[in-house]
Every structure is written in C-alpha cells, then in structure tokens.
Structure 1
C-alpha cells in the first residue's frame, strides 16, 4: 500500500506541476496586447502626419516635422506587414487594405515631403489617402480588441479548470502524505526544495525575459530609423544635395552610436550578474576624475554648460578604482544632460562628509515622481517622466551596484518638474589592504 501511495503521489504531483506550467504558459501569452499596441501606434502616427500636413499648409511650419512623422508612419506600416504581424493582420482581414494604403502613401511621397505653404489641393489629396488608412486602423484595432477579449475569456475558463484540477490534486497529495511513512515525508521535503529552486529559476527567467523584450524594442527603433534613411537615399540619392546626404549619414551615425551604448550596457549587466567586475583601487586625483567626466560629456554635447565646484576641504586624492568611478560619474552627468533643458546648466559639486568624498550631480530637469523613486535603481525601470527619451533602464542600476563595489553608495533627491541631484559617496581611503600598504610605503 505504501508503494501504491508513492506511485499515486508521484502521478498527482506530476499532473499538478504540468497543469501549473500550462497555466503559467497561458498567462504569458500577450500577442493581442502587443498587436493592439502596434496598431494604435500606427494609427497615432497617421493622425500626427495628417495634422502636421494641415498645420504646415496653413501656418508655413518647418517641413522637418512632416518628414520625421512620414518616416515614422512608414516604419510602423512596415512593422505591421512583416512576419507574425502580417499573419495577424490577415486573420483580421486587414492586410490587403493596409498594403494598398501603404502603396498609395508612398505614391504621394514627393507631394508629402515637398508640400508648400497654401497648397490645399495637395493637402486634400494626402488627406484622402490618410483618412481611409486611419479608419482601417481603427477597425483593425476594434477587431483586435474583440479578439483579445475572446481569447482572454477562453484562457480564464481554461485557467479556472486547471486551478480546480490542481486543488483537487493537492488535496489528494495531502491525504496520501498523511498515510505515508517517514520516508515519504523526506521525499516531500526534497520536493519542496526543488519547488523553491524552480521558483527562483522562474524569477530569473522572468527578469531576463523583461530585459530581452526591452533591448529588442530599443534595437528595433534605431534600426527602423536607419532603414528608413537608407531607403530614402536609395530612392532619391541621385537627386539629393550633398548637405541632405550628410545630414542623413549623421542621423545614421547617431543611431549606430546609440546601439553601441546599448550593447555596452548589456555587457555590463552580464558581467555584474556573473560577478566578473572586481575593483582595482589606486590613488586617484579628485579633480581629474571630475574633469574627465565633464570633458567626455562636453565632447558629446558641446553646447551644454557643465559647472564644477570643488570645496576647499576636499582632499586632492582618494583611493578608488578610477575606471569604475568614471563610469558612474559619466552615467550621472549624461543623465543630467539628457533629462534637463538645453538652457539649464548641469552642476557638479564635490564635498566631504563622514570621511567620504561626495560627488553631487545636479540638474534642473524633469525630475522623478515621488511614487516612483523607490524603484529608480531597479533593473529595467524607467520613470514616467522619461517618456520619449531613449534609454534601457539599466544605467542607474549598474551605477548603484558599482558604487557598492567601491565601498560607497549612490543616493538622490528629486522633485518632478524641478530637477534631481544624484550623489556618489566614496570613502577617502580604500578598504583594499594592498592599496593601503602601497600608500604607507610611499609616505615612509
């Protein structure tokens, strides 16, 4: 009977885990959410382009905004016409209409990009093409929403049934557990350890899944911009002026530089997770650390003002890892420039407190809402005020971890709409006995 109970226990346990895994897999499905988002963003791009064209014809605005919105709309339409998205739109019965709309829009490309002030006839022709597209996207969004609701209802029914089966299985397992001997209890203890390990692996997998989704999105946008610029060069390169070609080449170079930074951030995350980052402290001059961070940012944004103020009580040097310290300061200064108006100077103030050197980077930018500040150093988290600014959400997390590796800490004070001050606090003397020994010998 004990052997039969063990077999039954194993069968019920496998069944329960199978149902749990199946339920968890169903809960991960979000194709409808992604497609509804893609459709709505495409419709929004079409609306913005239509509005920009109307404003330009009436108010004589810059054509740069029209070109940018036109390229965004083309990239969105291309996204809906590729791979799984195309199959999804075909299932909704919208793929042919979208393909025709995309063809009609491209046929009017010269009129859109060369629109002149007061040309109402061209505006009407463009509107006649964009209007049906916007309506088609609206219908596609409605159909996608209905389809999503139906799929969600079916998943909920299936999940309820799975949960009920799991509950019944657990009750049976408990009854069998009471009957089993001490050996069965040991087996259950082993199972609990396995379950905890499974949950930990699941959490890690979820974290990396979020990271991959974020990086995928961040890669897709610059690649779409590069592709759009190259398509434009292929179509009209022979008729373009050299200045226009150089502008588009510079745009491509900017996007490539952004991709390079993104890859660097990805590698930093991997190295930190693997414990491959170890500080190598040495004697570093405070003024040199600050000036390198300032010079590097000025090279990238020469029009920005970065002020440096070092208090008189600050020691000329500290013991720390110069590369890791510069990486933290570069991140803080770059963020301050990126999230503050061009007219606002960025200030770097250096002071001392409790045998620590405090590097405070202050900006007058968008700030961080109070409700989101507790999550600011979490991986992949980005504040709501950072919408529209490119980033991965790992820079501050890496900086905080590096600060702890150096024996210090990174904290901040921020108010939404007013600005933020991030402060890196590092010990004046390193905790490394090798560095202390070299300094003492040098003093002797």
Structure 2
C-alpha cells in the first residue's frame, strides 16, 4: 500500500476521533510512517513476536535475529515524528530478563521515543517468580499496555466486559486498579464487540482473496430461509455493538489516571479468523449502522461524562448524577458553562439546567458538578435522553434512560 492508501486510513481514524495506531506484532512500511507524519497520527510498531518465549537453550540464532531486527527497525524509522512508541511484541512471556535487557539496549541507542516490553503481559505484581524469573530485573519500560493486573488471589480487569456483571449504569470505573500501575498505562485491545456479518461486503472481494467465511454464512442463511433478514441482523446487532463501544470508551475515560486506550480495531479484523469487531468493514468502509459524529461524542480530546447510578427510573424518583469532563486538549479551558437537558423521545422537556462558569484543567474524570431532575412529568413509560453540551469547548455527549410510572 502506498502513501495515499495509508493517508486514507489515517484520515478515517481522525474522522472517528482517534489519534493513534498500534501495529499488532509487526512493523508497517515506510509509506505508513510518511502518511502518519503528514496526518499527525502516533504509531506503535512492534517486533514480529507474539506470545513467544525467547532466550531458551538452543535459541541463540533466533535471539540474535530479534536483537538485530529491533536495531534495524529503529535505525530505519527513527527520524519519523510519528514513531512515538515502540514495543517488542504482543503478549510476550518467559524470559523477561532478555526482553528487559533488549529494551535497555534500544533505549540507550535511541532515547527519543517511549518503549514498552510487550503489549499485555501476565503481569504479576506480587509474585514475579510465577513468570519463571525468580530475580526479574527492574522495569525499564516507559509505559505499560495492559488489560488486567494479576496477583495470587484475583484479577483486576481494565476492559468493558466487566460492566455486564452489574445492572446498566455509567458509574463504574477501574481507577483503583490503575493506582496499582507503576507507570503510565494504555488499556489493551478494548472493545471487541461483534456485529452480525455484513454480507454486502462480499462483492468487494475482486482479487485473489475470496471471503469464504462470508459465503458460508450467506449459504447457511439461505438454506434456513433467513437470507432476506441478513441486513436487518447486521443493522440491529450493529446498533447494540455501537452502544457497547460508547460504554467501553466512557468507562476508560472515567478511570483516572489512565493515559489512553487501544481498541482491538475500528474495522473488522481479518487477520485472525472471522472477527467482525469493527464499526467499519475490512475495507475501512461504513457498514451502515454507525457514524463518526455520534462516536466522537465519547472519543474526542474533550468529552463530557455523566455518572448515573442506573439507567431505569420510576416517575416518583429524583434523578441525580455527577457531571465530569475529560480534557486532553493542549491547555486548560476557562469559563466553560455546561448545559444539560432531559427530553422524552416525543420531544417533551423533563428537566434542564446550567452549571458554571468553571475552568477545566487537563486530565480525565474532572468533577464539575451535579445535576438533579424530578421525573414526575413522565406519566407513561418513557425513553428519554440526557444531553450535556459545552459550547465553549465544542463538546457534547448524551445518554438514554428509561422512566416508568
């Protein structure tokens, strides 16, 4: 793929509010770095290593190759401003001494970027001997990419699957888990929410690659008399998938001091079987159930967040929620006056208010105040939307609630 091809992908990333791309156990070509330089995208290339154990007896040739490949990658791409992060591979295990030593060598040869040993490790803070390294060396990483912290008795997760253990709310976070991290942390491969396969993608395969998986799904639906409903299956499951992505992103942003997150992918992931985890198809085209603008409400440099203890209320209750902001802009913002309203699906106003003016420092989960609304005007089962906006910061976000008499 040439520079224009990469530039197209990076423009799409920015349309959806993203500014970073990780390359799972590989390093992209020069054209990618050039396009990322031009579009302002942060890159994390990796060595071609995935869950492998290195430095075992008889592994000398492989170790020498890995060390030389790392040196050559840094030498080739070090002058690209987009090469902000560098990682030795995906979910590496085993000989952490060798990996940390290699990390130290790379940092010494070129300290101009940030390094981490692996994207997601079996990170045992209080039991390093379980990793096969009784005398594990000190961390030389500049940052961590993790999905959980492990110890002898528990696993503390940092991905959205945890919110299925509770009734719907927008209050939970993993701030307590983050406090255990000794370094700035990015969450690993969050999202992974699936939609029903998009059979409209099949005609796009015009080269040597056939979408045999999609063809098999199409043929199975046809055999069972369901092919006419395939588009509806994709649309409805895709709407749910989109809502789960919104909840996932907000969960991450409510968690301080998180340094960032890495989605498994924005588009379907064709490299490991069938993984329809994207809001876009394998060609980076829309599937028809998600749009960039609503997605950016929770994926932008500045995001309003609302901590709701639940999403279903009775009309005799008073809704109370805490309002927070994320500000990852270049500088703090002064004199912001957030506005909020609650409207039923028929447009009827249930409540409204205004906060501030306030100042927004840099950071995540910045508390700015509370909102309170009486729900007694809902005299029948009602779907309502809470909308928060901050015109001075060009920010807006919204959440659905349900009210029953």
Same structural fold, with TM-score higher than 0.5 when normalized by the shorter chain: no
TM-score, length basis structure 2: 0.27
Name the structure where helix makes up a greater proportion of residues.
1
TM-score, length basis structure 1: 0.25
Larger Rg: 1
Name the structure where strand makes up a greater proportion of residues.
2
